[in-house]
Amino acid sequence: MLLAAAALLLFLTCWSVIPAPIMLVFPLAVGGPELSPWLIGAAVIVGALARKNRAALPVCGISLLCSAVPLAALLATRQTRSEAFRQTVNAPETARLTSTRSIQIRPNIPYAVRGGTLHMIIYGPAEAGQYPAVVMIYGGAWRSGSPGDSAEFARHMASRGYVVCAIDYRHAPEFQFPVQLEDVQEGLVFLRRHAAEYQIDGTRLALLGRSSGGHLALLAAYQPSLVPVRAVVAYYAPSNLIKGYEDVPVPDPIGVRGVLESFVGGPPAHLRERYEQASPFTYAAGPAPPTLLIQGGRDHIVKPTFARELDSKLRSSGNRAVLLELPWSEHAFDAIFTGTGNREALDYTERFLSWAMK
């Protein structure tokens, strides 16, 4: 029994250090580093129970080591991230909205886009007032997902005094770029027109997205628009689609090239100009709102090098940008809301938005 428990624990923890080759085991690669403190505790408990079992005890030791590596890496680099954030934002740890408020949720709010109607969900404080708004764009490789994704994050931010508007967009391959960007822009126009109705301070809007949603958030923020935004937050977002096509991660569990061809309409060899138009990196030399990039250092869907290059280009162009790289986190790490990486990412997101929207 103890050997079986130790073997199961090893199977769960080994994905903290072994990249997932296929999407079937990808959730384990996401969860392992984020749950490392709990997995370390489990390894210690099973190891203590199996201290006289010569077969199970070494297995527990390997599990303990697999879980300790990502946690140690996160802790060892924490000061570096804090300093990078302070140099760019110069916001103290108390610079956030900390009050906990009761919230209200308004589901299935329709808004028109070219060729149809989409729906958004709005989370906000229940008390009357005008609040800064975070327009949240879900991920899903531009081909799946819904405004109901990341609801725990939306409720959390609403309780801190933000109106969180989770908007929708049409999916590839049926709809290809630039339809998704147009849908985001229509959502922004709708929110600006109906700001008073939804208790939004129309002068304080920020965009926030994850993965493909982070890509759309960056792209919309860097475009000339009738609805300017005060800041943009992008979690593990594709930013240079041509390089992303040429330099795929190894392993490549999602099939990056197929995803990009589905979104853009083909390979960059035939559609180079469209790939450039669809890349936030293309626009980073111009004026841009303050940008927070949050990236897992072990991301096997969007390689960390692209976030580093975007951060460098933004800052060299005189824009305010900060990159927070969590060294052992995988793509979609914040799906574990209470995980070690997301707790830090959430803290910096709150501080950044509070600073940018004041």
Q: What is the pLDDT of residue 160?
A: 94
The band of 225, judged by pLDDT with boundaries at 50, 70 and 90, is confident
169: left (phi over 0), alpha (psi -120 to 50) or beta: beta
Residue 351: which of 106, 91, 146 has the closest Cα?
91
- In angstroms, the Cα distances linking 24 to 20, 29, 261 are 8, 10, 22
Q: Is the per-residue pLDDT at 282 higher than 90?
A: yes
Q: Nearest Cα to 321, choosing from 331, 333, 311? A: 311
Residue 90 confidence (pLDDT): 76
pLDDT (0 to 100) of residue 93: 61
Summarize the chain as % helix, strand, coil (round to 5). Answer: 45, 15, 35
Q: How confident is the model over 200-219, as a mean pLDDT?
A: 97
287 token code pair:
């004026």
Domain with CATH 3.40.50.1820 in the chain: 81-356
pLDDT for 9 equals 92
In this structure, which CATH number among 3.40.50.1820, 2.40.30.160, 3.30.70.3270, 3.40.1360.10 belongs to the domain 81-356? 3.40.50.1820
Tokens of 274: 């469209």
In angstroms, what CA-CA distances link 44 with 1, 47, 250, 260, 342?
Answer: 16, 5, 32, 43, 24
pLDDT tens-digit series, residues 27-78:
999 999 999 999 999 999 998 987 777 788 899 999 999 999 999 999 999 9
What is the percentage of the chain residues whose pLDDT exceeds 70? 97
Q: Residue range 156-180: average pLDDT? A: 97
CB 190, CB 164: distance < 8 Å: no
What's the alpha-carbon Rg for the chain, to the nearest Å? 21
Q: How far is CA 316 from the centre of its chain?
A: 24
Q: Please, which pLDDT band fits residue 100 given cuts at 50, 70 and 90?
A: low
Task: State residue 95's pLDDT score.
Answer: 56
Judged against a pLDDT cut of 80, whether residue 331 lies above it is answered with yes
